[in-house]
Amino acid sequence: MADIINLLPDNIANQIAAGEVIQRPASAVKELLENAVDAGATEIQLIIRDAGKELVQVIDNGSGMSDTDARMCFERHATSKIKSIDDLFQIRTMGFRGEALASIAAVSQVELKSRRAEDELGTFIEIDNSVIRRQEPCQAPVGTSIAMKNLFFNVPARRNFLKSNAAEMRHIVDEFIRVALAFPHLQFSLNSNGQQMFHFEKGSLKQRIVSILGQHYNSKLVTVKESTDYMNIHGFVGKPETAKKTRGDQFFFVNNRFIKSSYLNHAVMNAFAETIPPDSFPLYVLFIDLDPAHVDINVHPTKQEIKFDDERILYAFVQSAIKHALAQFSVTPALDFDLDPGIQQLDALTQPFTEEKKAQSAGTSIYKTFTSANQAHIIDKSNNSNLQHWKELYGPPPARDNDFPPPPSPSDFPPVSTASVIDERWQEAAHDQKGPVQVHQQYILSQIKSGFILVDQRSAHERILYERYLRALAEKPIATQQSLFPQTLELLPADAIIVHEMLPDLQALGYDLEPFGQHTFVVRGTPADIQTGNEQASIEGLLEQFKNFSHELKHNRRERLVRSMARNNAIPSGKPLSTREMQNIIDELFACSMPNISPGGRGTFISFKLNDLEKMFDRGF
């Protein structure tokens, strides 16, 4: 019997391989646009006819190609972007597999025109079915134009699989928008059947987003920006009121590459959870930059899925960055919105990982890097950004003091007690006239730069305690105040089980409890800010709250414990407060990562703007 194994001819091998890379006109759009970006172009035109079935053409003003390269680039595995396997882990270009042009050439008719700045004449090439039909010198502007004509003309089965023009055009626009968002400092245009559909001037990311989504988004975007040694995130989320009932304007880019990740999407949704109705979807355009060595972009041929070294860190990082951003917008509406065009973008491009930083993070555990002072939702007291946020709210600097004091540390917070009347007078006198005022023993009225705010004392304190307790569990346990006379606490069997399970967390939160027999505990100490004499009541109240929360399955046990404690220990409405206590509440509230909302989703304060007040009076009420 004769041998039966043949090597496939190149054009058939290419056609088969092309199936993975070029599935529809939009795939070619993505590849050609990315090549233009990789070639350093600053102006990129996309021209489409018949939803890309007849023509997909990209014209750029990038580096151009030499005669030889112009021929070579259609070979399979022809790439200028990697030379060794090590390069694969430092990829900063969009392409690197050297497959796209070979695949396009295998399933269509291609015309390429290209010229480098140093060459007098450019080169023109015509290819179909992977075969070069013609190559000749030609006049051409610097840059490259590649036209893909009659996609799948030689693979009728695939051509028949293409969807309606409307559907294919939708895919094309999606790809176009993704690339345009990733590179706002480049000019892009899209022309379809002779009509200009989009034209984006070079600008900042915000300008790009607004030119895509519409001018009214200008005031609806919240800046997201956090940096750690391990990764950076920047971009925008829509204010909660822009959330829509349909998923749509949601974009994640990792090292400027558009990705789909339901996991990271979940992190964003989670950060929005308390601020938008269920079943609605917030807008986001987020860029995560990290050392390419920590990402595997190679897992999927069309590269929309992505694998990270440690997804959990990324999740926590994304979630807290967004919470932080959302928390700030409510307080500082105009925070750095009109930055110089391109600044946000520059960041992404100019913050690659230095050798030094790489060595550092390789040496230590990544997790440690992340949970140190860099962690997004922990406010670093030494960091001025927080003070900035303060000055926005209360500035210009009040006469009483130019150096705004740093937010107090949790231990500065005095136990809430009813101050004696004399005390109260003294403090009142000592304090600035503009000090806060208590209204109906329930609200705190405080003057700010743009008007005044009305703080709900209970919700606000609940938020403060909630964050303090979370911090206690994550990093530094709360100090315990030892009781002079340890009490025994007898519990119902079911309650005793809960307490047993929670013992380590309770200890971190400042309770010193010791099991004593089956359902009994000895209480040796309580968190320093709970008044002595209340040990038993405090724990019983806590248990009660905890059981109330038990139907809320979405929270894990720790979360429930923290929420219960915050609710249980928060200052109730109806409690008179001294000026000092009110000031402390305000100070601490605005040092929180999410000051505007209680853990249970109630508002913590309302702000009244002078402008709005004026208008109200004008209208006669």
Peptide bond between residue 493 and the one before it cis (omega within 30 degrees of 0): no
Q: Is 264 in the site for ligand ADP (CB under 6 A)?
A: no
The contact mask relative to ligand ADP for 93-132 (x = CB under 6 A, - = no) is --xxxxxxxx------------------------------
Closest separation in Å from C-beta 126 to ligand ADP: 16
Closest CB 79 distance from Mg ion, rounded Å: 7
CA atoms within 13 A on the CB side of 400: 9
Contact yes or no for 50/142 (Cβ under 8 A): no
Q: Would you count residue 81 as binding ligand ADP (CB under 6 A)?
A: yes
Q: Please give the residue whose beta carbon sits closest to ligand ADP in the complex.
A: 95
Cβ atoms 136, 114 nearer than 8 A:
no
- The distance of closest approach from Cβ of residue 170 to Mg ion in the complex, given in angstroms and rounded to an integer, is 23
The binder of Mg ion chosen from 73, 100, 297, 472 (CB under 5 A) = 100
Question: Residue 391 binds which entry of ligand ADP, Mg ion, none, with Cβ cut-offs from 5 to 8 Å by kind?
Answer: none
With H, G, I as helix, E, B as strand and everything else as coil, classify residue 304. coil
CB of 32 to Mg ion, least distance (A): 8
According to the binding rule CB under 5 A, does residue 103 interact with Mg ion?
Answer: no
CA distances in angstroms from 344 to 38, 206, 225, 337, 347, listed in the order given: 20, 9, 9, 11, 5
Pairing of strands 284-290, 250-254: parallel
Q: Which stretch binds ligand ADP (CB under 6 A): 76-84, 175-183, 513-521, 537-545?
A: 76-84
Q: What is the 3-state secondary structure (H, E, C) of 197-266?
A: EEEECCCCHHHHHHHHHCHHHHHCEEEEEEECCCEEEEEEEECHHHCECCCCCEEEEECCEEECCHHHHH
Residues 35-54 that bind ligand ADP (CB under 6 A): 35-36, 38-39
For 299-385, strand residue ranges (E) read 307-308
User: Is 114 or 583 the residue whose CB approaches ligand ADP more closely?
Assistant: 114
User: Whose Cβ is closer to Mg ion: residue 100's or residue 243's?
Assistant: 100
CA distance 454 to 337: 26
Task: Return the one option of Mg ion, ligand ADP, none that residue 80 interacts with (CB less than 5 to 8 A, by type).
Answer: ligand ADP
- Residue 560 tokens, joined: 């429930």
Angle at 144 between CA 140 and CA 148, to 5 degrees: 110
328 binds, among Mg ion, ligand ADP, none (CB under 5 to 8 A by kind): none
Q: If binding is defined by CB under 5 A, does position 95 make contact with Mg ion? A: yes
Which does residue 98 touch among Mg ion, ligand ADP, none (CB within 5 to 8 A, set by kind)? ligand ADP
Residues in the interface with ligand ADP (CB under 6 A) total 24
Choices 34-42, 250-258, 436-444, 517-525 (CB under 6 A): range interacting with ligand ADP: 34-42
- Binding of ligand ADP by 31 (CB under 6 A): yes
**Residue 172 near which of Mg ion, ligand ADP, none (CB within 5-8 Å, type-dependent):** none
Exactly one of 25, 62, 184, 238 binds ligand ADP (CB under 6 A); which one?
A: 62
* Beta bridge partners of residue 605, listed in sequence order: 455
Residue for token digits 């200008």?
218
Check binding of 65 to ligand ADP (CB under 6 A).
yes
Judged on CB neighbours under 10 Å (0-12, 13-18, 19+), 384 is: exposed
Location of structure tokens 């993070």: 361
Helix pair 579-589, 457-474: axis angle to 10 deg: 60
Could you say whether residue 149 binds ligand ADP (CB under 6 A)? no
Interface with Mg ion (CB under 5 A), residue from 15, 35, 275, 328: 35
Backbone angles phi, psi at 423, to 5 degrees: -50, -50
The site partner of 73 among Mg ion, ligand ADP, none (C-beta below 5 to 8 Å per kind) is ligand ADP
CA separation for the pair 423, 390 (Å, rounded):
28
Tokens of 361: 């993070």
Q: Which residues, in sequence order, are bridge partners of residue 125?
A: 112, 135
| CB-nearer residue toward Mg ion: 28 or 470 | 28
- When binding is defined by CB under 6 A, the residue of 73, 224, 313, 416 that contacts ligand ADP is 73
> Which of 148, 509 has the CB closer to ligand ADP?
148
Rounded Cα distance, 443 and 461, in Å? 11
Beta carbon nearer to ligand ADP, 96 or 315: 96
With respect to Mg ion, which residue has the nearer C-beta, 35 or 328?
A: 35
Q: Which of residues 531-590 bind ligand ADP (CB under 6 A)?
A: none
Rule CB under 6 A: say whether 71 interacts with ligand ADP: no
Shortest distance in whole angstroms from residue 612 CB to ligand ADP: 53
Q: Which does 79 bind (CB under 5 to 8 A by kind): Mg ion, ligand ADP, none?
A: ligand ADP
Q: Which of 80, 135, 332, 447 binds ligand ADP (CB under 6 A)?
A: 80
CB 21, min distance to Mg ion, A: 9
Stretch of 89-97, 182-190, 488-496, 539-547 contacting ligand ADP, by CB under 6 A: 89-97
User: Does the protein bind ligand ADP through residue 376 (CB under 6 A)?
Assistant: no
Kindly tell me which residue out of 15, 45, 61, 63 binds ligand ADP, with binding defined by CB under 6 A.
Answer: 63
Contact present, 22 and 103 (Cβ < 8 Å): yes
Shortest Cβ 95–Mg ion spacing (Å): 3
DSSP letters spanning 412-473: GSPPP----HHHHHHHHHHS-TT--EEETTTEEEEEETTEEEEEEHHHHHHHHHHHHHHHHH
Site string for Mg ion, 50-89 (x = CB under 5 A): ----------------------------------------
CB atoms within 10 A of CB 34: 21
Report if residue 144 touches ligand ADP, rule: CB under 6 A. yes
Map 568-616 to HEC letters.
HHCCCCCCCCCHHHHHHHHHHHCCCCCCCECCCCCECEEEEEHHHHHHH
If one asks whether residue 59 binds ligand ADP (CB under 6 A), the answer comes out as no
Residue reference for tokens 């680039």: 73
Which position has the token pair 């119902």? 492
Nearer to ligand ADP, 60 or 392 (CB): 60
| Residues of this chain that bind ligand ADP (CB under 6 A) | 31, 35-36, 38-39, 60, 62-65, 73, 78-81, 95-102, 144
- Interface residues with Mg ion (CB under 5 A) are 35, 95, 100
